[in-house]
Chains A and B, each alone.
Chain A
Amino acid sequence: MNHMSVVFSKVYLLAIISTAYARAEEAKISFTQEIRPILARHCFACHGPDQSQRKAKLRLDTRDGAFSDRGGWAPVVAGNAEHSGILERITSTDKDEVMPPGGPEKRLSPEEISKLTSWIKQGASWSDHWAFQKPVNHQLPTVKDTAWPSSPLDYLVLAKLEANGLKPNPLADKRTLVRRVSLDLTGLPPTLDQVNEFLNDTAPDAYSRLVERLLASPAYGERWARIWLDLARFADTKGYEKDRSRPMWRYRDWVIAAFNRDLPYDQFTRDQLAGDLLPGNSADQRLATAFHRNTLTNEEGGTDDEEFRIAAVKDRIDTTMQVWMGLTFGCAKCHSHKYDPISQTDYYRFFAVFNQTADADRGDESPFESFPTEPQQAELKQIDRQISQLQETLKFGPPPRSVAEKLKSGQDRKNAILAECRTPVYQELPEKQRRVTKIHQRGNFLDPGAEVQPATPDSFPSVGGSGPVNRLAVANWLFQADNPLTARVAVNRHWAAFFGTGLVPTQEDFGSQGQPPSNPELLDYLALAFRDSGWSMKSLCRMIVNSSTYRQSAAASPESLSKDPENRLLARFPRNRLEAEMIRDSALRVSGLLSRKMFGPSVMPYQPEGIWRSTYNTDKWQTSPGEDRHRRGLYTFVKRTSPYPAMITLDAPSREFCNIRRIQTNTPLQALVTLNDAVYVEAAQALARRMVRDSASLETRARISMGLELALLRPAKPAEVDSLTQLYNDQLAWYSQKPAEAEKMATVPLGPLPQGTNAAELAALTNVANVILNLDEFLTRP
């Protein structure tokens, strides 16, 4: 695998920075960054790509349109603001003339008008929307502080910081780093042992070796699968009214395994979009196609299956475009896109590609295939052996009852296994049954328009090769060298996973309505490096976490706060609240409860009574037995009409549709979850017991210090221990008077106290642990 060397040789770096990076002059207006967004916001709705809405046959989204001769005048005359028609109309005081129409609140701001004016005066340079042009290699900029950067990526960050008069932070301390990078790469905090191993490793490459250990950990796949499963709208039920269960967990496990074996992003994509069309495809590749079978199935009585089959196909193409190209394709269902060059015809041509699969909103979810796991395969083999042995005995006359019963039970077990792993898959219709696709006028499938043939959108490079334009062709098209978006969108998603915000903050929209990248050169650099690595996602992660930008401290100086309050330039590392699943996993991990069992059917941890009350569905939430209660959050059963309350409160989506980014909130209801949910109460009880068990002495302060260290992975500060010891003493006094309360606090729901322990002590320590597990520091990635 071709990956970036970590400790970058400064000499080598200097050598590749051959010429100074030419930064644009401050006063020069950028068409891409400043002008196009103004035109898109104010003009494109009537003068954009949507022909049916276009007024006065004028287009302002293309160079030809904007500079067109309209019989004696032109909307834009380069270098001549007085003769540019758009400025005249925009600044007109005549209410019938002024653009855009619709009253004063629709008008452009004085700042926008002045930008437009300057741009025209500066020569009105025009380029197509940045995201629709291929990423290009930029020369690395020179920087003043050559000691700070440790990778090309850092040069690109630092140049921007220096241009804005900012300095990056120094590197974070080792304890912070190990907690940060473990959470980011594996979704889990490190154990104390892992922390100590890293602290004691004084070799210069200690950090990069830590990174390698984390990338090789099976937990890496679980962490990154979590992100992908939001995009894949993975859930354990079908959605809509009845919302019955549907076994999709084999797909979830495929995703985890794919990340762990660093399946290159192009293959990862091809398998999911078209695994069934690959020549000589494997079971694993067919299983991957369940990606697009995560769409909803409507089993409500009296529904038209064709209506919901079409809804599923539309969801698949919207999802495909969102996930891989960062485009909001969905609006072209009803009319041509108002802002981006996607026509309604484009939409239904693309629809035609995905309209040829055999699934059809059926209750039985056909087509499907059983994908037994390795243990299941072993068991199936064993059952088959038993069955054939039993059948041997049948040759010698009528079977005794016991044999018949054994045969039946063997067959039943076999069927049960095959049903449990039976997963909906993609299957292309045979040639004779292929569907004709027509445009759905105004998005209504009952109102068909012209027939269309399968194709990719016109304004993007066309599909290479001469074969049919099917799903496989589309999957390959996404990775053609001239596709401008796939690599950028993927690296942006990774960047956002580490830094909280993407280089393009609107991860879901790289079109003209989205926000421009904060550092376009960096985005392109990462995109090309990702491609050149052979689309290795682990290499991409490695490149990011080994950078100084990632390793810098999170301390917020007043200067960097005031100059860059949103931290778009990254003069400091952004602290972020842990995601829903990470909070759960962290609490279970530090308390010692976490099960590291991987894979398998989804599980049901504690959930309050009476949450599931779906219509015409008698499924019950039954708390999983044994360690299944303490599995990582990504294994929690997702019922779409009734998602797990603690998760949605902490901003997890309900998985009914593709969710590109979780918007983080900070609410009192979240505080109630981590204070009172049985999951966190049990974790506090277990942490309290661990404080007693692992502490060096019987002293209260030692136990409390142990608890803080277990959770925060740093030595406790005396002031913290003082404060918690006071709490402990107060609560101990109270619980000593209230043995029944003490018993409950220390044991419900975790279970009986270990022998020789004192209920009042453990109850008071549980209160202490409850505080520790709610600390801002515990809930935040440093």
Chain B
Amino acid sequence: MNDYQAEGVKSVLNQTRRHFFAEAGMSLGSIALAEMLSGKSAQAQAPTQGNAMSPRPPMIPARAKHVIYLHMAGSPSQLDLFDDKPELRKYTGKPCPDELLKGKRFAFIKGVPNMLGSPYQFKKAGQSGVELSELWQHLPTVIDKIAVLKTVKTDQFNHAPAQLFLHTGTNQFGGASMGAWATYGLGTENADLPGFVVLTSGGKTPDAGKSVWGSGFLPSVYQGVQCRSEGEPVLFLKNPEGLDQQGRRRTLDTLRQLNEMQARAVGDPETVTRIAQFELAYRMQITAPEVMDISREPKHILEMYGAVPGFVPESDSAADPRVAYKGTDAQFANNCLLARRLVESGVRYVQLFDWGWDHHGVSPGEDIVNTLPIKVRQIDRAMTALIKDLDQRGLLNETLIVWGGEFGRTPMAQNSPNQKFPGRDHHPYAFTMMMAGGGIKGGQTIGKTDEIGYYAVENPLDVRDIQATVLHQLGLDPWKHKFSYQGLEQRLIGVEGKAKIPPGLLA
């Protein structure tokens, strides 16, 4: 490990292994302990050094301080939202040519499926004239801020492995997620809030489970913390029933007195670190509910996002949430607004997952003529507002926004025997993602797919390139941001390091 790579780990070890008199400066515990032993201030203070989450300078010049990643779990159809294929419409209903099927594995398609053109019209939007599906009502107004990447490829064609691959760099369990890599490298700006926050909507957590925001081989302090826009925002944040915040303060004062006696008696700096963690927990109890309370927003901002404080969709209590989706469900909108508030408060990485985008057309609630328009309505206004709102606050420059699924969808209709509605199978070879803010050049399309949208024909991109771009914009060199584990120099973009920053993407 070189010095830089070891930084995050060292800080964890400083806290956990009593690395007492570190060369670069004593750890928090030892400073406070020294003060305590010398009879000076016994106040536990916020960790400023030696804390795993304290802010660290970037490795390379940073273009973004924060990331908001909007993941549409299930994977939306690029062919019905971004990538217009007039040729494909002509073939609708005709059998898929053999060369597109030969040697290919599909998740559900068996035999020879028919081609499926998009039922939607496309229009040029904004000054840049980027093409968008008619399903987008609001997005066209901010398209000049957005780069549309049409040729992203992944290695995986099942949800769980593809989500893991995208977020952790490996299709196996055990990798560290992008947000964990970010906080491991950079810490966070507000110690009173988790540095890596996860918000979910759509009634389910992502297919690969909580490992998609896990810390893998990195210390567990870097794992994402799932927060909620209704109820208790962070698990265990609420005091027990019958204890108010003043009472909590009172108990913590006593706890601190006793723990300080212990620190003096035993001389273990870890005790002092623990005292500080209780103080941080207290401050989080005060800060998090304030930051996470979107009802504090003025009416015009709530309307801008379509947010409804405390909204609990019907779909949340349905056995299959997808059949109960409504276009007016405000959960995603609430999460977008919350994401802005979190970023504004210094949270490093905000990860949204919206479930319900797996539109095979096999059962109700998952096709491209009924469900897709509903899902687009749930996100269109909100993510448009997010971009505008960040922009008007001067935060878009320092916040990278990423949008996409874990793969794309096939130009062929799925041909299951029980097919009821038009729908598409999983397609890993070329799909669309969007990026905005944080040093991205907006109002442009990058990459071109063939006439039916099967493969990239210009500027092929890879999920690895997205990972590299996220780290790069944060000021972390994707090739050098590493962690030694199991005899390998692990990194987000994989040990082979085959990744690039898409040409032309950066402003």
A binds B: yes
**Interface: A675 (CB within 8 A):** yes
A676 engages B208 (CB within 8 Å) = no
CB proximity of A208 to chain B, nearest CB, Å: 27
Q: Contacts A331-B486, A672-B284: A641 and B208 contacting too (C-beta < 8 A)? A: yes
Query: How many A-B contacts are there with CB distance less than 8 Å?
Result: 251
A300 contacts which of B207, B239, B257, B319 (Cβ < 8 Å)? B207
Q: Which residue of B lies closest to A40 (CB)?
A: B487
A675 to B248, CA, bound (A): 9
Cα distance A565–B30 when bound, in Å? Answer: 11
Does A284 lie at the interface of the complex (its beta carbon under 8 Å from any beta carbon of B)? no
How many residues of A are counted as interface, with CB atoms below 8 angstroms from the partner's CB atoms?
Answer: 98
Q: How distant is the Cα of A642 from the Cα of B211 in the complex, in angstroms?
A: 9
Give the distance in Å from the alpha carbon of A567 to the alpha carbon of B19 in the complex.
9
A731 interface neighbour in B203, B206, B250, Cβ under 8 Å: B250
Contact at B108–A748, with CB atoms within 8 Å?
A: no
User: Which residue of B is nearest A237, CB measured?
Assistant: B209
Give the residue name and chain of the B residue nearest to A723 (CB): B257
Contact of B208 with A776 in the complex, beta carbons under 8 Å: no
Q: Contacts A328-B488, A554-B266, A745-B240: A562 and B21 contacting too (C-beta < 8 A)?
A: yes
Q: Does A133 contact B (CB under 8 A)?
A: no
CB of B220 within 8 A of chain A?
yes
Chain A, residues 46-62, CB within 8 Å of chain B (1/0): the string is 00000000000000000
* Chain A hits for B242, CB < 8 A: 741-746, 748, 763
* Chain A nearest CB, measured from B334 CB (Å): 15
Q: What is the CA–CA distance of A776 and B257 in the complex, to the nearest angstrom? A: 11
Given A562-B20, A774-B255, CB of A641 within 8 Å of CB of B209: yes
A678 to B: closest C-beta gap in Å: 8
Q: Which of B240, B261, B277 contacts A681 (CB 8 A)?
A: B240
- Asked if B251 and A727 sit within 8 Å, CB to CB, the answer is yes
Of residues 225 through 248 on chain B, the ones whose CB sits less than 8 Å from some CB of chain A are 225, 228, 231-232, 234-244, 247-248
The verdict on A776 contacting B262 (CB below 8 Å), with A105-B2, A641-B205 known, is yes
A565 touches B21 (CB 8 A): yes
Chain B proximity of A217: nearest CB distance (Å): 28
**Contact of B41 with A by CB under 8 A:** no
Q: Is A671 part of the contact surface with B, judged by Cβ < 8 Å?
A: yes
A566 with B19: CB separation less than 8 A: yes
* Interface membership of A665, Cβ < 8 A: yes
CB-defined contacts of A575 to chain B, threshold 8 Å: 266, 268, 270
A731 pairs with B247, CB closer than 8 A: yes
B271 CB–A CB distance under 8 Å: yes
Contacts of B208 in A (CB 8 A): 240-241, 641
A641–B211 Cα distance when bound, in Å, is 7
Q: Are A726 and B16 in contact (CB under 8 A)?
A: no
Q: Across the interface, which residues of A come within 8 angstroms of B253, CB to CB?
A: 727
Contact in complex: A302, B219 (CB < 8 Å): no
Chain B CB count within 10 A is highest, among A501, A513, A743, for: A513
| B283, closest chain A residue (CB) | A668
Q: Indicate whether B123 reaches chain A with its CB closer than 8 angstroms.
A: no
Q: Tell me the complex Cα distance, A663–B275, Å.
A: 20
**A405 contacts chain B at the CB level, 8 A cutoff:** no
Query: Are A675 and B210 CB-contacts (below 8 A) given A298-B158, A648-B223, A767-B251?
Result: no
- Minimum CB–CB distance for B196 against chain A, Å: 12
Q: Is the CB of A675 within 8 A of B173?
A: no
Q: Is B176 an interface position by the 8 A CB rule?
A: no
B403 at the interface (CB under 8 A from A): no
State which of A72-80, A595-603, A650-658 sits at the interface with chain B.
A650-658
Digitize A385-400: 1 where CB-to-B-CB distance is under 8 Å, 0 elsewhere: 0000000000000000
Q: Is B101 an interface residue (CB 8 A)?
A: no
Give the complex CA separation of A585 and B270 in angstroms.
Answer: 22
Q: Does B301 touch A at the CB level, under 8 Å?
A: no
Q: Mark B41-80, 1 if CB is under 8 A from A, else 0.
A: 0000000000010000000000000000000000000000
Indicate with 1 or 0, residue by residue over B16-51, a CB within 8 angstroms of chain A CB atoms. Answer: 111111000000000000000000000000000000
What does DSSP make chain A's interface, helix, strand, loop or mixed?
Answer: loop
CB pair B486–A328 under 8 Å, yes or no, is yes
Within 8 A of A (CB), among B275-296: 275, 277-278, 280-281, 284-285
Instruction: Determine the chain B residues whose CB is within 8 A of the CB of A614 once the complex forms.
Output: 204-205, 209
Q: How far is the CB of B125 from chain A (nearest CB, A)?
A: 33
Q: Does A670 contact B (CB under 8 A)?
A: yes
Complex contacts, A720 vs chain B, CB 8 Å: 258, 261
Q: Taking CB as reference atom, which chain A residue is nearest B2?
A: A105
A509 at interface (Cβ–Cβ under 8 A)?
yes
Cβ B280 vs Cβ A668 within 8 A? yes
Cβ of A779 < 8 Å from any Cβ of B? yes
**In chain B, what residue has the closest Cβ to A775?**
B258
Nearest-neighbor residue (CB-CB) of A767 within chain B: B251
B267 touches A556 (CB 8 A): yes
Q: How near does chain A come to B190, taking the closest CB pair, in angstroms?
A: 12
Min CB–CB distance B16 → chain A (angstroms): 5
**Interface readout for A714-725 with B: 1 if CB under 8 Å, 0 if not?**
000101100110
A281 within 8 A of B: no
Smallest CB–CB gap between A663 and chain B, Å?
Answer: 5
B257 to chain A: which residues have CB within 8 Å?
Answer: 723
0/1 string, B174-213, CB within 8 A of A gives 1: 1000000000000000000010000010011111111100
Of B16, B173, B262, which is within 8 A of A657 by CB?
Answer: B173
Residue contact B173 to A618, C-beta cutoff 8 Å? no
When chains A and B are docked, how far (Å) is the Cα of A513 from the Cα of B172?
22
Is B221's CB under 8 angstroms from A665's CB?
A: yes
Expressed in whole angstroms, the Cα–Cα distance for A167 and B141 within the complex equals 73
On chain B, the residues within 8 Å of A643 by CB distance are 210
Chain A residues with CB under 8 Å of B319's CB are 618
B159 interface residue per 8 A CB criterion: yes
Residues of A with C-beta under 8 A to B2 = 105
| Docked pose: A730 CA to B221 CA in angstroms | 35
**Which A residues, 308 to 352, have Cβ-Cβ distances below 8 Å to chain B?**
311, 328, 330-331, 337-340
Q: CA of A717 to CA of B265 in the docked complex: distance in angstroms?
A: 12
How near does chain B come to A576, taking the closest CB pair, in angstroms? Answer: 9
Cβ of A615 under 8 Å from chain B: yes
Q: A613-B204, A618-B319, A775-B259 are in contact. Are A340 and B487 (CB under 8 A)?
A: yes
Interface residues of A in 207-234 (CB under 8 A from B): none
A665 touches B484 (CB 8 A): no
Interfacial chain B residues near A656, Cβ < 8 Å: 173-174, 211
Whether B102 is near chain A, meaning CB under 8 Å from some CB there, is: no
| Residue pair B258, A241 in contact (C-beta under 8 Å) | no
Cα(A731)–Cα(B246), bound, Å: 10
A671 with B281: in contact, given A641-B209, A665-B219, A681-B240 (CB under 8 Å)?
yes
> Is B274 a contact partner of A779 (Cβ separation < 8 A)?
yes
What's the minimum C-beta distance from B281 to chain A, rounded to whole angstroms? 4
How distant is the Cα of A243 from the Cα of B208 in the complex, in angstroms? 9
Contacts of B355 in A (CB 8 A): 615
Q: In A60-118, which residues have CB < 8 Å from any B CB? A: 105
**Residue B160 interfacial (CB < 8 Å):** yes
A-B contact pairs, 6 of them (CB 8 A): A562-B20, A615-B355, A667-B221, A669-B235, A675-B236, A770-B251
Q: What 5 pairs between A and B have smallest CB-CB spacing? A: A641-B209, A302-B107, A745-B242, A744-B242, A656-B173
Question: Chain A residues in contact with chain B, CB under 8 A?
Answer: 105, 239-241, 243, 296, 298, 300-304, 311, 328, 330-331, 337-340, 501, 508-509, 511, 513-514, 554-556, 561-562, 565-567, 575, 577, 608-610, 613-615, 618, 640-643, 645-646, 648-649, 651, 654, 656-657, 663-673, 675-678, 681, 717, 719-720, 723-724, 726-727, 730-731, 734, 741-746, 748, 763, 767, 770-771, 774-777, 779-780
Residues of B that sit less than 8 Å from A by CB:
2, 12, 15-21, 52, 105-108, 157-161, 172-174, 194, 200, 203-211, 214, 219-221, 223, 225, 228, 231-232, 234-244, 247-248, 250-251, 253-255, 257-259, 261-263, 266-268, 270-271, 273-275, 277-278, 280-281, 284-285, 319, 355, 425-426, 484, 486-488, 495
9 A-B pairs besides A556-B268, A565-B20 with CB distance below 8 A are A561-B20, A613-B203, A614-B204, A615-B205, A642-B209, A654-B211, A675-B281, A681-B240, A777-B262
